[in-house]
C-alpha cells in the first residue's frame, strides 16, 4: 500500500481527521478545568502541560 494511501486510511488529511484532532486539543484542557471546578479543588494544577 502506498504511503499516501496509508495516511488517508486513518484520516490524517481528511476534514474529519483535522476536526477530530482540534476537538481533542480543545476538550482536554476544558475537561481539566471543569474537573477542578466540579471537585472544588483548592490547589489547582497548572495547565501548561496541555499547551503544546
Q: Tens digits of per-residue pLDDT, 8-32? A: 566 567 888 889 889 998 898 888 8
Res 29: pLDDT:
84
DSSP string, 11-34: TTTSHHHHHHHHHHHHHHHHHHHH
Give this prediction's pTM: 0.55
Res 27: pLDDT:
92
- Residue ranges of the domains in the chain? 22-52
Amino acid at each position: 500500500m502506498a504511503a499516501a494511501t496509508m495516511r488517508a486510511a486513518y484520516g490524517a488529511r481528511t476534514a474529519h481527521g483535522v476536526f477530530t484532532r482540534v476537538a481533542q486539543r480543545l476538550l482536554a484542557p476544558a475537561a481539566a478545568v471543569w474537573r477542578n471546578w466540579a471537585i472544588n479543588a483548592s490547589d489547582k494544577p497548572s495547565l501548561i502541560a496541555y499547551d503544546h
